[in-house]
């Protein structure tokens, strides 16, 4: 009887929680609250930032610290040792089109080490070091199958190789397993002090840190043009790609696919996934301080347009999918729009229209680029084709 009552009670709680979650999420434009975004061009002592020098010297470091302290956590810059080894290779993979290398990147600090397994293909037709796409892979490892027995639309490596780019990927679990019980069994072991800090690194920060270690490798590989690396990520991986590109200016391009809350979408719109929801479902993604903003997005000292601004003048491409309202397509577009002023300081003019473009209407020839693909939350061949066009344009490879 007791067990029966307990089961009933937990069922009722479950149903209520589910209803609450549903209610928590707004999908109606008319219910978006009135909000004012923090001014990206106003310094903490209320000075207006008028040129790129003042941006780089005063405001950019301030904004970077605000994101570190309030959302993503610190990013440890030093470590005792880093080693790269090619574990295996195949000079004629993809029917001779590509050279595959399985690279092990081993980073050590405080007697602990982390092993990042990089899958890398470079185009054999290249006569110079190749520009590259790097994916922070948050889905199954089979998506980046080195043997190419499994071909996934999520990482269409053959398409990218045919376009003359190298393509690489690492899996987030090498840095921080993606769950609250285990995320500390990776990079966090190298920096144990981060765990107890309210602004300490968490999983998204660890994945971004991993992307930078791959960049450390790229600069040593003569087959890669490390000055032309486009960092990409989907959804939670897209949140990490933005944070990594904001931190590490060696990434020439940032692509953030369906990244939504605490990715490219504005928090203050409170549309789709909100801060409380993300902090509750994924408490291991962001730092402890971020929890203070549950139900209080308006108190954040930043909003996500400022994260995109940190990447200026480097090109950023954000995407959405029409059925993925959870990731707030309009809020993503507005985030890019509100970063335009910082790109303007560099004399760069965004070509984004005043209102979001229609479905499957990519705006590519712009430092701030956007598309909203018809369909579901995913990264598809359609998306990748646009990313290639974007990289071609910005790397001067256009026809
Ligand atoms: C969940 C989460 C999102 C995230 C997504 C993903 O839906 O709420 O914030 O972007 O998972 O990573 O696929």
CATH code of the domain in which 245 resides: 3.40.50.1820
Q: Does residue 382 fall inside a structural domain?
A: yes
Distance 235 CA to ligand 1 centre (A): 6
Task: Provide the CA 94 distance to its chain's centre, in angstroms.
Answer: 28
How many structural domains are present in the chain?
A: 1
Q: Does residue 28 fall inside a structural domain?
A: no
Q: What is the mean pLDDT of residues 128-141?
A: 98
Distance 236 CA to ligand 1 centre (A): 6
Residue 13: per-residue pLDDT: 47
In this prediction, residue 17 has a pLDDT band, given cuts at 50, 70 and 90, of very low
Q: What is the mean pLDDT of residues 49-75?
A: 98
Place of tokens 């909100």: 274
Q: Does residue 263 fall inside a structural domain?
A: yes
Q: Is the pLDDT of residue 323 over 50?
A: yes
Query: What are the φ/ψ torsions at residue 93 (nearest 5 degrees)?
Result: -85, 175
Q: Does residue 231 fall inside a structural domain?
A: yes
Mean pLDDT of the chain: 95
Structure tokens given for 203: 């999983």
Diameter of the chain by CA atoms? 76
Alpha helices by DSSP H, 25-156: 52-54, 60-67
**Is 371 annotated as catalytic?**
no
| Beta pairing partners, 168 | 120, 134
Q: What is the mean pLDDT of residues 320-332?
A: 98
In this prediction, residue 173 has a pLDDT band, given cuts at 50, 70 and 90, of very high
* CB 229, CB 160: distance < 8 Å: no
Find out whether the beta carbon of 178 lies less than 6 Å from any atom of ligand 1.
no
What domain range is 200 assigned to?
Answer: 40-80+125-395
**Is 335 annotated as catalytic?**
no
Task: Please name the residue whose Cα sits nearest to atom 10 of ligand 1.
Answer: 235
Q: What is the mean pLDDT of residues 269-279?
A: 98
Q: Does residue 114 fall inside a structural domain?
A: no
What is the distance between the alpha carbons of residues 107 and 223, in angstroms, rounded to a whole number? 22
Distance 129 CA to ligand 1 centre (A): 35
Q: Does residue 180 fall inside a structural domain?
A: yes
Structure tokens given for 22: 């549903």
Q: Does residue 131 fall inside a structural domain?
A: yes
Please tell me which residue in 235, 241, 261, 335 is annotated as part of the active site. Answer: 235
Q: Does residue 298 fall inside a structural domain?
A: yes
Burial 15-27 (b: 16+ CB within 10 A, else e): eeeeeeeeeeebe
Find out whether the beta carbon of 257 lies less than 6 Å from any atom of ligand 1.
no
Query: What are the φ/ψ torsions at residue 180 (nearest 5 degrees)?
Result: -70, -20
In the three-class reduction of DSSP (H, G, I as helix; E, B as strand; rest coil), residue 205 is classed as helix
What H or E segment, with its residue span, contains residue 365? none
């Amino acid at each position: 009887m007791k067990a029966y009552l307990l089961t009933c009670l937990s069922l009722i709680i479950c149903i209520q929680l589910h209803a609450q979650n549903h209610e928590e999420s707004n999908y109606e434009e008319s219910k978006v609250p009135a909000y004012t975004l923090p001014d990206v061009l106003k310094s903490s002592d209320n000075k207006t930032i008028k040129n790129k020098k003042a941006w780089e010297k005063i405001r950019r470091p301030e904004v970077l610290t605000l994101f570190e302290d309030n959302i993503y956590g610190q990013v440890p810059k030093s470590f005792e040792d880093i080693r790269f080894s090619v574990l295996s290779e195949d000079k004629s993979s993809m029917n001779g089109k590509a050279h595959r290398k399985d690279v092990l990147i081993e980073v050590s600090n405080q007697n602990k080490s982390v092993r990042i397994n990089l899958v890398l293909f470079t185009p054999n037709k290249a006569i110079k070091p190749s520009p590259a796409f790097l994916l922070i892979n948050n889905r199954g490892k089979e998506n980046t199958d080195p043997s190419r027995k499994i071909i996934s639309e999520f990482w269409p490596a053959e398409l990218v190789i045919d376009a003359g780019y190298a393509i690489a990927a690492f899996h987030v679990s090498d840095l921080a397993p993606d769950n609250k019980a285990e995320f500390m069994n990776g990079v966090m072991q190298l920096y144990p002090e981060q765990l107890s800090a309210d602004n300490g690194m968490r999983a998204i920060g660890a994945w971004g840190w991993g992307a930078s270690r791959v960049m450390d490798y790229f600069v040593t590989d003569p087959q890669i043009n490390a000055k032309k690396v486009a960092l990409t990520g989907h959804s939670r991986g897209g949140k990490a790609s933005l944070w990594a590109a904001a931190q590490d200016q060696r990434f020439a391009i940032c692509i953030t696919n369906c990244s939504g809350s605490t990715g490219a979408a504005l928090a203050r719109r409170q549309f789709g996934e909100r801060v409380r929801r993300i902090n509750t479902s994924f408490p291991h993604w962001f730092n402890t301080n971020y929890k203070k903003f549950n139900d209080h997005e308006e108190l954040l000292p930043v909003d996500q347009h400022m994260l995109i601004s940190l990447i200026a003048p480097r090109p950023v491409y954000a995407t959405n999918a029409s059925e993925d309202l959870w990731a707030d397509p309009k809020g993503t577009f507005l985030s890019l729009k509100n970063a335009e002023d910082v790109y303007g300081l560099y004399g760069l003019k965004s070509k984004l229209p005043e209102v979001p473009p229609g479905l499957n209407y990519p705006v590519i020839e712009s430092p701030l680029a956007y598309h909203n693909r018809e369909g579901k939350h995913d990264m598809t061949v359609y998306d990748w084709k646009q990313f290639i066009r974007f990289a071609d344009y910005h790397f001067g490879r256009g026809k």
